[in-house]
Chains A and B, each alone.
Chain A
Amino acid sequence: MIPWSFESGSTQLKIAIFVTLALGFGLFFALMKTPPRLRPKIAATFTFLAGLLYVGIWLWPTAHGREAGDIPANFTEGVAFWLEDTQSQFQNLSNILTSFLLLMGVFSLVRLHATRVSKKQRDWPFSLVLLICVAIMTFIGYWDWLTVMNMKPEELEAMRDVTNQPFAVWMKDLLFDGLLQTMEAAMFSIIAFYILSAAYRAFRVRSVEATILLASAIIVMLGLLGMAENYWSIMIDNMGGLEDPNALVNNLRLEAITQFIRDNLQTPGLRAIDFGVGVGALAMALRLWLSLERGGSTS
């Protein structure tokens, strides 16, 4: 018998889930009644406990050479085993909590636009379009999911032919693949236009910084032009680079120059930024974990 679990579909499981939920909501209402004085401390305790698991894994000795089915030999190992097992369960915790909160995000989006429609504020017809799209996509999405889930393998196989697809499936394909994903690709590709205008405006010999930016960007871009690189290489070959592979002129190949920039300037520079960012994040993590700044930072 694995602890904290019952057989799937059993009555015990249903009761246990119900009791857990009841306890959880009991806690929920109990927390609503807590005096204001205690509140920051409660929130801080939850934060501390959540982080403590990982700090425990970090600082507690790791059991060495563990195999499946091992019984811990002593207390230290027992804790180490427990930490290891708990961690794998903990991994999804953030994801699940974030997902519960996502519902709130969509809810607030819908509320904002519903208000606009009901009060006939500026651009309300567009808000109406948004609301309709949310409704259709949600409906079709679940319909499609349920349809596909209840299909038999041979029906699934037959669906590769579009003519056999039920309405929900091709409607979802139209909305999701045909519209949503296509629009994502379109918005992603818009960046190309902005790269052009940003480069045109910013890459000027105006200040030292801008000039450096300009020079290194141009060199790298030339390296991307397969054709330019090809002719440049031929030029180097003719200057003696081909006959003698050890000739100094080989260092002038675009590939060699971009590589020098990348290895000795770009990577180390970014690495140093990362060190700073890493230390900054470490400090921030400590402050959050120990609740040294008050929760939302406003005091």
Chain B
Amino acid sequence: MNPETYSLIKLTLGVIATFGLYSVLYRENKFYRFWEHVFLGLAGGWALVALWKETLKPSWYDKMAGSIPETGGEGTPGYFVWAILLPIGMMGYMVFNKKHAWMSRIPIGIILGIWSGQQLLNFWRTYSPQFRSSMPTIVPTRWEFMQPAATPENFTDLARHTYISEAIGNLVAVITVLAVLSYFIFSIELKSKFMQGVTKSGRYLLMIGFGAIFGSTVMMRFTLLIDRMYFIWVEWMSQRLLGN
């Protein structure tokens, strides 16, 4: 097919689909419903393709059957034990059978067991750097308020020392960690006014962080929209349709 025609068809279909999905912003309508079902259908179909092509073939079948390279050289042997996963996986399908539904717990249990084991194994590895960063020094080692501007000569010296302003910042950080942790104590009734205040401030401190996350997400989300607008108005309309 002519590449020009092909790319016009492809882009036009993409633009129509994009408008179809955008139409839901006004209200749910038949146009949206059509494209939603196309979307779900294509996604479902692709799932079936990717299932074999991207997961089962490379990480299961090829290991089980091994390989003989076409160009000669050493292949990999087939590890036949992998075949056992097929019947175990099939047990999951018993969920549709009321009488034997319990069998689906075997593959599920294996998945959850692996997850749980990894959780125990990785707990320290995941959280210890965070523990470490929660323990800054809160006593200054230099009694100047501000850290002076960095120059190549004083760089390492600056990094080692803690200045008053930095110590204050660290103290704020530590208070934040402890206040937020206290917010997540569930089983102890906090009766003192002070502790109630701490818990409450923990929640407020969290809101600062959440606001900041909201703010920093904005750039990316808007850029994605702008990219779509560029796709519709520049790539499709201006470049393809009007031929600029």
| Interface residues, chain A, with chain B CB atoms under 8 Å away | 2, 4-10, 13, 16-17, 19-21, 23-25, 27-28, 31-32, 39-40, 42-44, 46-55, 57-58, 90, 92-106, 109-110, 123, 126-127, 129-138, 141-142, 145, 161-163, 170, 173-180, 182-183, 185-193, 195, 199, 208-209, 212-221, 223-224, 245-246, 248, 251, 258, 260-276, 278, 281-282, 284-286, 288-289, 291, 295-296
Contacts and interface: CB of A to CB of B under 8 A. Distances in A.
B37 A133 contact: yes
Contacts of A261: 208, 212
B49 A130 contact: no
B92 A187 contact: no
23 contacts: A48-B113, A94-B114, A103-B51, A109-B40, A126-B34, A130-B40, A130-B41, A133-B42, A134-B42, A137-B41, A183-B38, A186-B22, A189-B224, A216-B207, A216-B208, A220-B215, A224-B218, A251-B165, A269-B177, A269-B208, A270-B209, A272-B202, A282-B120
Contacts of A126: 33-34, 36-37
Interface string B113-154: 111111111010011001001100000000000101100000
Given A43-B109, A47-B110, A190-B21, A221 B218 contact: yes
Interface in B18-50: 18, 21-22, 24-25, 33-50
A218 B215 contact: yes
Contact of B106 (A43, A175, A199): A43
B117 A265 contact: no
B10 interface: yes
Interface residues of B, number: 132
A268 B86 CA distance: 46
Contacts of B214: 199, 213, 217, 220
A263 B133 CA distance: 11
Residues of A contacting B: mostly = helix
B184 A276 contact: yes
B176 interface: yes
A269 B206 contact: yes
B34 A100 contact: no
B80 A180 contact: no
A285 B115 contact: yes
Contacts of A133: 37-38, 40-42, 44-45
